Amino acid sequence: MADAKVYKNFINGQWVESASGKTFENRNPANTDEVVGVFQKSTAEDVKNAIDSAAEAYKKWRLVPAPKRGEILYNVAARLLRDKEALSRDMTREMGKAIAETRGDVQEAIDMTFYMAGEGRRQFGMTTPSEMQNKFNMTVRQPLGVCSFITPWNFPMAIPSWKMMPALICGNTLVIKPATDTPLSVANLMKVCEEEGIPPGVVNMVTGSGGALGDALINDDRVRVVSFTGSTEIGRKVSEGCAPNFKHSCLEMGGKNVQIVCEDAKLELAVEGALWGAFGTSGQRCTATSRIVCHKDVHDKFVKMMVDRASKLKVGDGLDESVQMGPLINQGQLDTVLSYVKIGKEGGAKMVTGGEQLTGGKYDKGFFVQPTIFTDVTRDMRIWKEEIFGPVLSITTYSDFDEAIELANDTIYGLSASIYTQDINRAYRAMRDVYTGIFYVNAPTIGAETHLPFGGTKETGNGHREAATATLDVYSEWKSVYVDFSGRIQRAQIDNQ
């Protein structure tokens, strides 16, 4: 720890220590001997200072013309692009996923920032004819104020960018608390914002645990938007905390995503999709493929192909370019995954590959587990119902397509789903009838793009969306403007009878 770099909070354009005087270590999940950095163990006082800063900065930032705000974001995006490799390597060191994936994570932040920079010149309202003569009607967006962001560890720069960039382009200021497992990527993002011209106080970062800081981030009356990505359990508490003061809340929560494999599917393609969907990011994605609903006629062949491919995936340190799956994020997540493997076995499912912690040699210092597949899974089993957030895939069969749709919808969540078929009619039926916020045809359940809305139904979210122009509605409110140039009082609905 003595040799590790110490990172401070970022408040009002300054890097400052926590009022607590305490710190915590951020360690590499592939090699826990490596301390990636030392970060501030912040308190409610630090959060208050950050909100003070954001509230003061809002007075000027909201008046900066949106195109000028966009120019600053463009510079931020260009800097992220320039530094992409270094940022990606830092992310792999603190989060563990394969370097190709962290490059994708940083690229998503680049894409989102460029996209929202463009929205500085495209925050379109509408004009509409008045029902009265000599009167002009239009709508404009207006910012809300201070935003609080609580972000997860699985996409340490992409998800913060989903929240930060639309908030900033709309004219809001913000305080972000990154996950305790991955604060370095957000610290790197703050540094880029600072050096590329975002004014002091507009972006602020405090590090520490959500349990210690959550109430302070949510309950301050000056905070008008809270955006949270994480578990449904915590998301429900965030929603309850926002309700008394009618704050905007954007909640992205759990998923139990399904891939339907029809009898006419190109099996090699379906296997590729399932492998990437289930084991990409070690299954630690809210959109990860955790259920397969496979037609009975192709089930055995599909399973055989999946087992062959999954058992050969190379697991290891994500900085190794040849590694296909990195470690889990921490000991707690490893324990959770192994507990669900046990639950699956005891519940009557058949484990056909994986299920073991990887140990020995390079694995002894990290949180590694084998890609795991269960068959003979029924809808009453916990591994069918509950989000595991690890590389555990459950497979069941269907005979009739209506049954496949029913099984796909058999979850409290509704984030992502996919179907593999060559029948266009069947594909469109699934697009219509599977109740999720995201749907793919002949593609995995993962792979969202920044210019389409991201979010889910049921207990996955609260109806809002991130990314694309849909997210602007989270960070702005509509104002209807009426300009009467008649020179006299005109009473709508009264004088127009």
Q: Give DSSP secondary structure letters for 412-447.
A: SEESEEEEE-S-HHHHHHHHHHS--SEEEESS-S--
CA distance 104 to 92: 11
CA distance 93 to 333: 17
DSSP-based three-state secondary structure for 75? helix
Q: State the maximum Cα–Cα separation within the chain, in Å, rounded to a whole number.
A: 85
Q: Please report, for residues 31, 258, 310, 376, the alpha-carbon distance to residue 349 in angstroms, rounded to integers and kept in the order given.
A: 33, 17, 18, 5
CA distance 52 to 56: 6
SS3 content of the chain, % helix, strand, coil (to 5): 40, 25, 40
Q: Is 286 a catalytic site residue?
A: yes
- Active-site option among 286, 294, 459, 466: 286
Q: Is 252 a catalytic site residue?
A: yes
Q: Please report, for residues 104, 181, 249, 424, the alpha-carbon distance to residue 205 in angstroms, rounded to integers and kept in the order given.
A: 23, 15, 19, 48
Which residues sit opposite 413 in a β-bridge?
458
Write the DSSP symbol of residue 6: B
- Active-site option among 108, 119, 194, 252: 252
303, containing H or E segment = helix 299-310
CA distance 144 to 147: 8
Name every residue whose Cβ is closer than 8 Å to that of residue 96 and which is 6 or more positions away in sequence: 28, 29, 30, 282, 318, 326, 327, 328, 329, 366, 367
With CA atoms as reference, report the closest residue to 279 among 318, 258, 310. 310
Catalytic residue set: 252, 286
